[in-house]
Amino acid sequence: MRLMMVVGVRPQVIKAAPLIDLLSRDSEVDFQLVYSRQHYDYEMSKVFFNELNLPDPIVNLEVGSGSHAEQTANIMLRIEPVIEKLKPDVVVVLGDANTTLAGALAAVKMRIPVAHVEAGLRSWDLSMPEEVNRVLTDHCSQVLYAPTKVAVRNLRSEGIPEYMILQSGDTMYDSILRHLKDVESSKILDELGISDEPFIVVTAHRAENVDFFDNLSKIVSALLKLRRVKIIFPVHPRTMKRLVEFDLKRKLEKASHIIMTKPVGYFDMLRLIKDAKAVLTDSGGIQKEAFILGTPCVTMRSRTEWVETIMLGGNVLVGADERLIVKEVMHAISNSDAIEKRLLSIPKPYGDGCASEKIVEDLKKRYFSGELKVGPIKPFQMAFSSKP
């Protein structure tokens, strides 16, 4: 089976890593890794290939930054001849970035079956560009690997036929479990001089938070008020650009309780999340990682696709509301130990740590049985049709 995987942003490399490890060692698979280069700074891309021991991509599309249309269209234009040349039997895309949608659309229009890893997540808010990418990718894929029960339910409710869906579990969960020792070996706390101090970790990069002066300045004001603990803030390049443009970077630099850094490596990030009193973020992956590692999370969004983290009491939504951010972070810090104890004791909704194995197994089964095709949907298996 010739399997092409398309990745291009930081979290995709992380969620793809356990799959890449299996696929590149599988004698029944001719594995082709394509990198769009939507993310290109060393700290946003290559560092993860190095840390996670991943093979170099065989093709780099060199797409870089741009508007949504520009980026999505450029990836499609550049990947079409690659698909034409490499003739994959299946294209695997992951998550919800522009790279995900562009890879899926280009492939399916060339009648190459698409498998979507991390399918079925919904925030039910199309003003988030990621939601548009998720919905459209799911609806043009031939196989949908849903990380959770809720994700399966979402796909069913949109009429995706049952036979196209597998509740695989979450490959990011697999990845965390595989690297717990590396996380313990991280020296980041010493490097930042916070080994014996309580701290929280903060990340922000969603367009709705950082591209608007009003929202970013409210977030900055909240950070300035949260003086009770040290704040570690690895800054996404998009956010750094805006902090400079809006003249907010100086304010953060002047605050002695705030340590801003470049984006950090994966093991360092997990160590920060694990040892923090609380996490304040708008990231999708980090909400989940905080939950898995037992750290209370405060999420600067009005909706989340990772609903289990809320339902199971590990996460709370605060938008970009300065007062709410301060209130909920203080509450999380004060109750951190109790929340950690509870989160670590409950079963995780992300599978058994073998999502990657299940996905590879299932893809091979579908391919070798001849069922992996772009063609008419089998109507009698539609989710809501009555049984034949």
Q: Which residues are catalytic?
A: 205
Query: Any contact of residue 76 with ligand UDP (CB under 6 A)?
Result: no
Among 120, 147, 161, 285, binds ligand UDP (CB under 6 A): 285
* Residue 35 CB, nearest approach to ligand UDP (Å): 16
- For residue 233, the cross-strand partners are 260
> 112 vs 188, which CB is nearer to ligand UDP?
188
Among 151, 286, 290, 372, binds ligand UDP (CB under 6 A): 286
Residue that is written with structure tokens 């058994």 in the block: 352
Query: Any contact of residue 291 with ligand UDP (CB under 6 A)?
Result: no
> 16 vs 270, which CB is nearer to ligand UDP?
270
Residues 6+ apart with CB under 8 A from 332: 277, 278, 296, 297, 298, 316, 339
Among 40, 49, 163, 246, binds ligand UD1 (CB under 6 A): 40
Query: Any contact of residue 18 with ligand UDP (CB under 6 A)?
Result: no
Q: Map residues 190-219 to x or -, x wherever contact with ligand UDP holds by CB under 6 A.
A: -------------x-x--------------
Residue 17 CB coordination number (10 Å): 24
Query: CA–CA separation, 10 vs 12, rounded Å?
Result: 5
Query: Any contact of residue 10 with ligand UDP (CB under 6 A)?
Result: yes
CA dihedral of 227, 262, 171, 162, whole degrees rounded to 10: 80
Query: Any contact of residue 156 with ligand UD1 (CB under 6 A)?
Result: no
Q: Map residues 107-146 to x or -, x wherever contact with ligand UD1 holds by CB under 6 A.
A: ----------------------xx----------------
Query: Any contact of residue 39 with ligand UD1 (CB under 6 A)?
Result: yes
φ and ψ at 271, to 5 degrees? -65, -40
DSSP state of 229: S
> 113 vs 131, which CB is nearer to ligand UDP?
131
φ and ψ at 114, to 5 degrees? -115, 135
Confirm if 325 and 270 have CB atoms less than 8 A apart: no
Distances in Å between the Cα of 136 and the Cα atoms of 89, 105, 108, 217 are 21, 9, 12, 33
* Residue 159 CB, nearest approach to ligand UD1 (Å): 25
Residues 241-260 that bind ligand UD1 (CB under 6 A): 241
Per-residue burial over 222-244, b if 16 or more Cβ lie within 10 Å, else e, is bbbebeebbbbbbbbbbbbebbe
* Residue 237 CB, nearest approach to ligand UD1 (Å): 3
Q: Map residues 347-366 to x or -, x wherever contact with ligand UD1 holds by CB under 6 A.
A: --------------------
Query: CA–CA separation, 186 vs 182, rounded Å?
Result: 6
The region of 35-43, 146-154, 252-260, 332-340 touching ligand UD1 under the rule CB under 6 A is: 35-43
147 binds, among ligand UDP, ligand UD1, none (CB under 5 to 8 A by kind): none
The region of 117-125, 156-164, 212-220, 261-269 touching ligand UDP under the rule CB under 6 A is: 261-269
Residues 6+ apart with CB under 8 A from 51: 182, 265, 266, 267
Among 266, 306, 350, 367, binds ligand UDP (CB under 6 A): 266
φ and ψ at 265, to 5 degrees? -70, 170
Nearest to 204 by CA among 230, 223, 229: 223
Among 4, 6, 7, 9, binds ligand UD1 (CB under 6 A): 9
Residue 31 CB coordination number (10 Å): 20
Among 182, 217, 228, 237, binds ligand UD1 (CB under 6 A): 237
DSSP state of 125: -
How do 30-35 and 59-60 pair as beta strands? parallel
Residues that bind ligand UD1 (CB under 6 A): 9-11, 38-41, 44, 65, 96-98, 129-130, 205, 237-238, 241
Q: Which residues bind ligand UDP (CB under 6 A)?
A: 10-11, 14, 203, 205, 234, 263-266, 269-270, 283-286, 289
